[in-house]
Amino acid sequence: MNELVSLYVTVAAVAIMLLAFQVYFTVIVYRREQSLGWACAALFLFTGLNVLLYQAIKLEKRAELRPEEMTDEERKVWRRVYLLLIVQYMVLFAALSWIF
Amino acid sequence: MEGLSVAQATNHRGLLNNFERNGEPMPTIISSLSDRSKARMLFFAYVLFVLFTDNDFFFLAFNLFLAFAALELSYLLPLFRARLIREWPASIAVYSIFVLMSPNVFYMVTDLIHMNLFDFDYLDEMAMEEWWHFFLLAAGVFIALFFYVLMVQSVQRLLGAGRWSRMLLLLFVLLGSIGIYIGRFLRFHSVHLFTEPWLLLERLLQSFSKDAFLFVSWITLLQLLAIAVFGRGTGRGTPHE
């Protein structure tokens, strides 16, 4: 029983974390692009596909992810986005290896 | 050109000329892509191919995903170079995760051992199932090697041309070989360093032997060979960077 509760709690925590990141990234993308299409892509593409798509189509065209060409504000935002994404993957790996 | 007649050789040259303009190779769809975009397209195409065709090598999709994740992380390294003291914790975390993930790229080369699933009794018959799997595995390894070259290029760019850069690159390669040994023989993943660090360390210390040392040495030499043969330095000044 205890294991089942732990499993539910873990799955719920991972789901909340994934959802929180989706919302956070959607807000960032919508503020920058003012586009519902991009907002939908940011919200519905999970596990970093949204970041990868935005990076490939928009970000690399502008700054090619060269920090020296980014403003301080941009650099801060993208450091946070990528850090959250990496943390998300680490938590996912840990949770999946625990569950299976 | 050995073994070709003059006419054949001329035709061969003519064919080559179709791909050249003013001595420069003519751009094709593939060659006009940046290495980064090429890596992404190859990754998604390969994973879809492995997942939606009939084969016994589905694990290659996951292994290539891990290799691709390490490559994408390598592109983020300049962004996580700390400028302020308060940026150090995040930078150390990202750099550490990159070092932990990076062996996954060259690890795929050792996946070649899975060809032992088949007999390859080629003198007896041409078993298409064997060659189909040979094709899948070799393609995955080629793509992983491409990722490896790009990842090393990112690391070289980050290290610059300083006095210690070659030593640091060698250390990076050596750590990668130890990581491959841990993954291949002790069957640990990068994430176990967080979830079971003491068990991993204990097993690693227990497994030290002459054979382990030889394996690590050979994989290190293979990686250095790949860098020497396919590497392109920092990539600065190349047309696609």
The pLDDT score that the predictor gives to residue B234 is 61
User: In this structure, are residues B189 and A97 in contact, taking their beta carbons and an 8 Å threshold?
Assistant: yes
Q: Which of B40, B72, B97 sits opposite A90 (nearest CB)?
A: B97
**Following DSSP, what letter does each residue of chain A receive, concatenated?**
-HHHHHHHHHHHHHHHHHHHHHHHHHHHHHHHH--HHHHHHHHHSTTTHHHHHHIIIIIHHHTTT-GGGS-HHHHHHHHHHHHHHHHHHHHHHHHHHHH-
ipTM of this predicted structure: 0.86
The pLDDT score that the predictor gives to residue B117 is 87
Residue B104: which pLDDT band, with cuts at 50, 70 and 90? very high
Summarize pLDDT for B156-201 with one digit per residue, the tens: 999 988 888 999 999 999 999 999 999 999 988 777 777 778 888 8
In this structure, chain B runs to a length of: 241
Interface test with B, best of A93, A96, A98 (most B CBs within 10 A): A93
Per the structure block, which two tokens stand in for B61?
A: 């999709």
- Rounded to the nearest angstrom, the minimum Cα separation between B47 and chain A is 14
Q: Is the pLDDT of residue B1 over 80?
A: no
Q: Is the pLDDT of residue B12 over 50?
A: no
DSSP B53: S
Task: Provide the whole-model pTM.
Answer: 0.84
**Residues of chain B with pLDDT > 70: what percent?**
82
Distance CA B71, CA B150 (A): 7
The pLDDT score that the predictor gives to residue A63 is 56
Residue type, B18: N
CB atoms B80 and A82 under 8 Å: yes
Of B120, B117, B111, nearest in space to B139 by CA = B111
- Rounded to the nearest angstrom, the minimum Cα separation between A39 and chain B is 22
CB atoms A94 and B73 under 8 Å: no
Summarize pLDDT for B122-140 with one digit per residue, the tens: 888 888 999 999 999 999 9
Residue B16: which pLDDT band, with cuts at 50, 70 and 90? very low
